Amino acid sequence: MGHGLGAVKEMGLDAFAERFCDAGYACLVFDYRHFGDSDGRPRQLLSIPRQLDDWAAAIAYARSIDAVDATRVVCWGSSFGGGHAMVAAARDGRVAAVIAQCPFTSGTASVLALDPRTALKVTARGIADVAAAAVRRKPVMIGLVGRPHESALMTAPDAAPGYLGLVPQGYPFVNEVAARVGLQIPFHHPGRVLAELRCPVLVCVCDDDSVAPARQTVRYARRGPTTQLLRYPTGHFDIYVGDAFEEAVADQVDFLDRVVPLAGF
């Protein structure tokens, strides 16, 4: 189980994992390198290729656990991690199923969701960060979330309260990331791999998603030969809490019970 853009496992993944464990499934929840409890310097460096390598490592580790059936590993990802779960499964080729929740599927769609002023600021700081890395200076940072028009990756009105509201009280969360990722995101389109996946896939879409626009995700999901699409009348950050969480996690447990049933295990 992997989280989204700059998020750590304590930001809501524990609640999903607890429900899956209560239903009889084992969960491996991890932080990406450079974030949370994982190693990696400099801190707050988000590299898409490295995060996909982390997914591959997590899948391999799960298969190595004696109590785990190596043929029944499921990738579960949320937001940016939802896109990673799709790509990781496609690259691996032996994953039993995928659950992608409010997934990032199209860099183009997500960038167009930013206002032009913010997009310009993110691009400028991204170029500055790449230049700093070239001469081995410390990273140039931008916010993960911010208010409208600020220099941050997510600036929709519901982004800052929704995202930061998932941080547990007292957790030393850092609301920034090396800006170079802002140059990578527009060219990242993980939703395209849904057409290639042959394992069962559940895509949970938030219709009022301000971060990972629903329209393109729905288009990708409808191209997936093994993809089940569920839609919820909520925003991107609502699915982690309250009634939206209860509905989504129940649907996800039902999906697991169908595609990797526990009978006989």
pTM as predicted: 0.96
| Banded model confidence at residue 265, pLDDT cuts 50, 70, 90 | low
d(CA 184, CA 150): 19
- With 70 as the cut, is the pLDDT of residue 264 above it? no
| Mean pLDDT of all residues in 229-236 | 97
pLDDT in tens, 109-156: 998 888 889 999 999 999 999 999 999 999 999 999 999 989 999 999
d(CA 19, CA 27): 10
Class of domain 13-257: alpha beta
Q: Cβ neighbours of residue 119 under 8 Å, at least 6 residues apart?
A: 111
Ranges of H-type helices in 65-139: 80-92, 107-112, 116-134
CA-based R_g, the chain, Å? 18
Q: How many CA atoms lie within 13 A of 117 on its CB side?
A: 6
Q: Cβ neighbours of residue 9 under 8 Å, at least 6 residues apart?
A: 1, 3, 29, 30, 31, 36, 37
Per-residue pLDDT, 100: 98
